[in-house]
Each structure stands twice: as C-alpha cells, then as structure tokens.
Amino acid sequence: MDMRVKICGRHVEKDGILYLCFSGAYVEFEFTGKKASAVIKTDKADDPGLIGFVGVFVNGEYKDKLKLDKAEGVYSLFEAKEAQKVVIRLMRFSENNFGKVGIKEITADGEICPTSDKNFKMEFIGDSITCGYGVEAADENETFRTETENPAKAYAVLAAEELNADFQLVSWSGNGLLTQWIPPEADEPDVTVPLMPVIYKWQDFGGYEFEGYSEPQPHDFTSFVPDIVVVNLGTNDASYTRNKEKRVEAFGQAYAWFLRFIRSKRQKAKIVCCLGVMNTDLCDEVKRQVEIMNETDKDVFFIRQELIGNGEAYGADWHPGEKAQKRIAKQLVEFVRGIV
C-alpha cells in the first residue's frame, strides 16, 4: 500500500499491506474528488459473531460502519455527485483478537494527502470498556458480537477527540493485570490467557499470525510518545479477587509492577488511572497503589468512576451504554484539562 495517509494507533506494515492492530486505530487522508474506496482483507468474513468491522468518517462525522464480509473486498468510503474537498478517516472497530483489518489499497479520483499530526497525544490501556464492547447493543441481555462494538462511542476516543489529541488504544476485552474475567462458578483463572502486561509489550499480540509472522513482534515505544497515558484495568480482575485479602494484595502488586513498567517506557507522560464504571471492588486498591507511586512520582493520578446508574442504559453483557461512556469521557476530559 502506498502510505499517503496519516496512520494513528498501533499498526504493522508488511508485504504492502497496512494492518490496523487495535480498536480505534485508523488511517486518515484528504483529497478533492467524487469517490474513494479501499481494498481490505480480514480473517472472520464467515463468522457472524466475530466478523470484522470498520467505521468511516467524513469531515469528522461518523458516516458508516462497514462489515468486512469478504476475505478480501473493495469497500466504498466516499461517493458524491460533485467533486469536493473532504477528509476521510477509516477506523478499526472490531477489537484486536477478533475480525482483523488489513488495508491493501486506498484509491480516490483525486490526489490523496495525509492529514497533519496533532500536538497532543494520548494512549489508553484497557479492556472491553475501552474497546466499546456492546455499546450499540439494545440492552444488557444481548451478548457479545463485533457488530455492536464501537470504540468511537467509548470514553477513550470520545475524550481524545474532545481534547484534540492523536491517540492509540491497547485494549482487549476480558483482560486484566492479575487475571482475565472468570465466571462466578469458577474459582481459578485460565493461566494460558495472555494478560495486559504481556499484550502491551508486543506490537500486535492477537494478529501476528494473520500478518504472516511466526511470533509476535516487539513494540517500538518510541513510535508514539504520549503526553497522557490512561489505564483503565481492574474490572475483570475483580471477578477473581472477590474481596479476598490475599487476592487483592496480589492484584495490587501486579498493578504496581505495570505502573512502573509504563513509567519506564513513558518517562515524561502523566499517567491517569481510572476504574469503577462497571465494578468498584478494586478502586481502593488502585488508589492505594497510585498513592504509593506518588511518594516518588507525582505525575500518576487516580479517577474513581461512578457505577452505571441514574437511568443510564446498559450495553451488551451489562457494559456501559452510550450515555455512561459519554459521562466517563467527560469526567476524564475535565480531569486532564486540570493537570496539563
């Protein structure tokens, strides 16, 4: 692919294909013309629950969600009767370990130019809440489908857009720092499931085989240097810790280790830890670990989110719906404006 586009978010370029690795990763370009299209390859074209989706934005407005229903297909991004100057953004909606997104080509009937980078940069490390899991579902009785997942309607992208920031998400549903989500009837996690401290180190942990690699490639932490790092983890760990003292202590140790690792890679960033919109069990422990970090590092902060309520509708599987996502986005925006 001829890279005449802005690329935001973790990505891999291999054999002429641009792979968007995580939720919210996008390409953006401007041109003057009547039409533009993209050739996209994917891996779940025949799986209705896990099929890939991308979002199309024109001049900053969300216009369309494209279902990647072919292993490789041509998809229209823009069409008009008269030539006009437009900015097109193509964003990955399906998350890292589901419907993959590989862009082979972008064509338009006018010269394509990348849009400019922004001065402010944010990185978000999270779970399903950050991915926008089920945000478009009718209610909590729906279960997960990539069709109802939309990171552009989740707090991370909403906050970054409001703050006029470039952003990248490293998010994976069901994930945590000590354990992944486990059901109430289980007592121990599946230790073979990769957790965020592992996922964060690699460029595309869930997609490297689709990209043609035999093993995951290390992430270059100098490729995107954020001013703010937001960590929203702990919701899934609470399904295991269950307010048991030793488990909570182990979670706290895992959280502290991860904060130190982030700081080793993001030496100048302010780190904002948030938790609570789905479960508040580990909020006090996260706050405690932040306070311990503050003994030597004053640029680490904690935001306690309020639980979904006050008439806020749920998304799939009791996840935040659009109203709750907007609320925690607003809370984050106001907090960040107060520390930068």
Tracing tokens 């270059």 back to the chain, one arrives at 220
Look up the pTM and report it.
Answer: 0.97
Name the helix (H) or strand (E) containing 87. strand 72-92
Q: How do beta strands 270-275 and 228-232 pair?
A: parallel
For CATH 3.40.50.1110, list the domain ranges present in the chain: 120-339
- Which CATH number applies to 6-114: 2.60.120.260, 1.10.1240.10, 3.40.50.1820, 3.65.10.10? 2.60.120.260
* Angstrom distance (rounded) from CA 228 to CA 148: 28
Evaluate whether the domain defined by 120-339 bears CATH number 3.40.50.150: no
Cβ count within 10 A of residue 74: 12
Reported as a single tens digit per residue, the pLDDT across 211-237 is 999 999 999 999 999 999 999 999 999
Whether residue 265 is predicted with pLDDT greater than 70 in this model: the reply is: yes
Reported as a single tens digit per residue, the pLDDT across 149-188 is 999 999 999 999 999 999 999 999 999 999 999 999 999 9
For CATH 2.60.120.260, list the domain ranges present in the chain: 6-114
Buried b (16+ CB within 10 A) or exposed e, 265-286: ebeebbbbbbbbbbbbbbbebb
